[in-house]
């Protein structure tokens, strides 16, 4: 032991245990205070570096400490380090290690020493103060903390978590039924987050819908991360819930507006493109014709060519009519919706094209028992039925009479209309993207104009519905409209 009294006083003031390093590596001297701070009596332990590294110091700190220790011993390189050391009772205590250069200058020791200053929890006062700030922060940001303890199989919520979930202060959260704290459509997501965090240690930071004790569904930002024990095993998950309902609702409504604007914009762009393209083909013909008329000398031929203007004018008119029809869809979409019986609409349509149906020996089988009526613009429903039925008749299979099956039904709260034919079908590989385009025809039929399905799609979409098609060549085609 050191004999210098001054030095001993300093050590006492330091309130620290220490080592004296000696040349014999197995014969370090550990101070009484060092034994005591770990809960042992003097010389109860074997004061060797091997024992220290092997049994006392926390695994995480071993490598760095060993390097520091040897460097200090051999080369006199001072160091400072935080380490955790296991006490007799099995708990770990945190120490700050320091070496000779921590000593006051005037008492430089000849011997290499390592001091262990125990780091204690902060005084009670500070905790109370921090607690105040913590509560303030939690309330102001509506952020509650929680902890899930896997060993005790318990959840802990702080006051703010209970407040945002509308539970009383003395509520004890249930771990077993924890899925019930999430809205039905968020339960799987919550389960995935917690499972991945518990099994793989993956932290999460996500937006999720929770449900309060009063059954109010609201948006929460949930952040969680794994808690490890000293053996690096995950023993729990700690995290926060922040009430972001207001922000999230604004975000969602903003997103909805953006979607509507984007789809309107895309339709407008599409329409502009259609107008430009369809008018151009006529105007360019007109311009070519005028050139020709000017260029040709023979008066008789000139008059022949002038007659061609009539054809162009006729085509131009037809195109304009088609374009008007499309514009009308978008201006008419605010027309009053009415409850219409599918059967009534179908009767109206089949009466109108009775001759066409009869000539083709078409059989129409309707089934509206699952969904008898719908709130829709009557003219649109009739136009949709008319287009799909006339299409099915026009493109019937040459070897068989047309059978058209029409069914309305409800699925997951949404209303559907399905029109299936046994016609010649459309090659989906070739025409998938073009079926609903304007002036797109897929068959060699003379009367194929390529406007019907384009209008149908526009009508359906103008009322926020969707239309899709399934088809197989030689088997038939099915159109499914989601209203």
Partner 1 sequence: MDHKIGLACIIDDDSMYVNLVKRIVEAKNLCKNLMVFKNGKDALNYFEAILTNLDKKSIPEIIFLDLNMPIMDGWEFLENFTNIKNKLGKIITLYIVSSSINPVDIERAKNINSVKDYLIKPVTIEDLEAIFLKQIL
Which of 292, 303, 306, 473 touches partner 1 (CB under 8 A)? Answer: 292
Among 43, 280, 400, 466, binds partner 1 (CB under 8 A): 280
CB of 284 to partner 1, least distance (A): 3
* Least spacing, CB of residue 474 vs partner 1, in Å: 17
From residue 177, alpha-carbon distances to 108, 155, 191 in Å are: 64, 11, 12
249-278 footprint of partner 1 as x/- string (CB under 8 A) = ------------------------x--xx-
Which contiguous run of DSSP H or E holds residue 155?
strand 154-157
Indicate the helix (H) or strand (E) that contains 256: helix 245-295
Residues 79/112, Cβ–Cβ less than 8 Å: no
Q: Binding to partner 1 (CB under 8 A): which residues in 416-435? A: 430
Tokens of 425: 């079908």
- CA distance between the termini of the chain: 91
315 binds partner 1 (CB under 8 A): yes
Using alpha carbons, select from 315, 430, 410 the residue that is nearest to residue 369: 410
Identify the residue among 48, 178, 285, 366 touching partner 1 (CB under 8 A): 285
Residue 370 near residue 406, CB atoms below 8 Å: no
To the nearest whole angstrom, how small is the minimum distance from the Cβ of residue 277 to partner 1? Answer: 6
Q: Which stretch binds partner 1 (CB under 8 A): 129-137, 206-214, 290-298, 469-477?
A: 290-298
- Residue placing its CB nearer to partner 1 in the complex, 86 or 285: 285
| Cβ neighbours around 280 below 10 Å, total | 10
By rule CB under 8 A, what count of residues binds partner 1? 30
With CB under 8 A as the contact rule, which of the stretches 168-176, 241-249, 291-299, 368-376 interacts with partner 1?
Answer: 291-299
| 376-to-163, 179, 293 alpha-carbon distances in Å | 45, 39, 52
Contact present, 350 and 364 (Cβ < 8 Å)? yes
The contact mask relative to partner 1 for 109-148 (x = CB under 8 A, - = no) is ----------------------------------------
Token pair of 197, please?
């965090």
Q: Which is nearer to partner 1, 273 or 341 (CB)?
A: 273
Least spacing, CB of residue 273 vs partner 1, in Å: 8
Q: Least Å distance between CB 398 and partner 1?
A: 17
E strand or H helix at 218, and its extent? strand 217-228
Which span sits near partner 1 by CB under 8 A: 2-10, 43-51, 127-135, 305-313? 305-313
Q: Does 441 bind partner 1 (CB under 8 A)?
A: yes
Query: In this complex, which beta carbon is closest to partner 1, that of residue 170 or of residue 433?
Result: 433
Collapsing DSSP to helix, strand or coil, 188 comes out as helix
For the bound state, the minimum distance from the C-beta of residue 367 to partner 1, rounded and expressed in Å, comes to 34
Q: Which of 10, 62, 217, 305 binds partner 1 (CB under 8 A)?
A: 305
**Distance from C-alpha of 174 to C-alpha of 169, rounded to nearest angstrom:** 14
For partner 1, give the closer residue by CB, 418 or 448.
448
Contact yes or no for 68/206 (Cβ under 8 A): no
Of the candidates 114, 116, 49, the residue with the CA atom closest to the CA atom of residue 83: 116
Minimum distance from residue 322 beta carbon to partner 1 (Å): 15
Estimate the crossing angle of helix 245-295 against helix 452-462, to 10 degrees: 150
One of 43, 80, 311, 372 touching partner 1 (CB under 8 A): 311
DSSP 272-331: HHHHHHHHHHHHHHHHHHHHHHHH---HHHHHHHHHHHHHHHHHHHHHHHHHHHHHHHHH
Using CB under 8 A, list all residues that contact partner 1: 273, 276-277, 280-281, 283-289, 291-292, 295-296, 305, 308, 311-312, 315, 430, 439-444, 448, 450
């Amino acid at each position: 032991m050191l004999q210098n009294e001054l030095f001993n006083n300093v050590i006492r003031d330091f309130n620290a245990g220490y080592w004296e390093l000696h040349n014999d590596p197995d014969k370090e001297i550990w101070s009484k205070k060092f034994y005591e701070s770990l809960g042992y009596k003097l010389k109860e332990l074997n004061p060797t570096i091997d024992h220290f590294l092997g049994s006392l110091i926390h695994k995480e700190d071993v490598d760095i400490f060993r390097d520091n220790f040897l460097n200090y011993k051999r080369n006199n390189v001072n160091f400072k380090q935080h380490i955790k050391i296991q006490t007799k009772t099995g708990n770990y205590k945190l120490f700050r290690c320091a070496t000779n250069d921590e000593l006051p200058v005037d008492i430089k020791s000849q011997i290499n020493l390592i001091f262990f200053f125990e780091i204690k929890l902060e005084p009670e006062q500070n905790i109370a103060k921090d607690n105040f700030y913590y509560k303030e922060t939690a309330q102001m940001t509506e952020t509650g903390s929680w902890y899930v303890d896997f060993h005790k199989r318990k959840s802990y919520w702080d006051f703010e978590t209970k407040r945002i979930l509308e539970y009383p202060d003395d509520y004890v959260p249930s771990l077993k039924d924890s899925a019930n704290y999430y809205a039905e459509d968020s339960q799987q997501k919550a389960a995935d987050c917690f499972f991945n965090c518990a099994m793989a240690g993956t932290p999460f930071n996500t937006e999720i819908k929770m449900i309060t004790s009063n059954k109010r569904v609201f948006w929460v930002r949930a952040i969680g991360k794994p808690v490890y024990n000293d053996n690096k095993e995950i023993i729990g998950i700690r995290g926060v819930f922040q009430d972001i309902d207001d922000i999230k609702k604004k975000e969602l409504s903003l997103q909805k507006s953006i979607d509507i604007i984007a789809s309107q914009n895309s339709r407008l762009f599409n329409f502009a493109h259609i107008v430009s393209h369809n008018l151009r083909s006529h105007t360019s013909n007109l311009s070519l014709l005028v050139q020709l008329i000017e260029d040709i000398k023979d008066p008789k031929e000139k008059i022949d060519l002038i007659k061609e203007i009539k054809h162009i004018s006729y085509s131009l008119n037809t195109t304009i009519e088609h374009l008007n029809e499309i514009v009308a869809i978008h201006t008419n979409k605010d027309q009053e919706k009415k409850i219409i019986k599918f059967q009534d609409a179908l009767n109206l349509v089949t009466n109108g094209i009775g001759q066409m149906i009869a000539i083709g020996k078409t059989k129409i089988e309707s089934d509206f028992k699952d969904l008898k009526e719908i709130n829709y613009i009557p003219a649109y429903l009739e136009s949709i039925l008319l287009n799909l039925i006339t299409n099915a008749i026009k493109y019937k299979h040459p070897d068989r009479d047309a059978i058209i099956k029409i069914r309305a039904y409800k699925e997951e709260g949404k209303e559907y209309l399905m029109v299936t034919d046994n016609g010649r079908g459309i090659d989906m590989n070739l025409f998938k993207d073009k079926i609903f385009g304007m002036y797109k025809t897929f068959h060699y039929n003379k009367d194929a104009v390529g406007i019907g399905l384009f209008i149908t799609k526009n009508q359906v979409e103008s009322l926020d519905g969707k239309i899709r098609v399934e088809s197989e060549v030689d088997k038939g085609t099915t159109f499914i409209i989601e209203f």
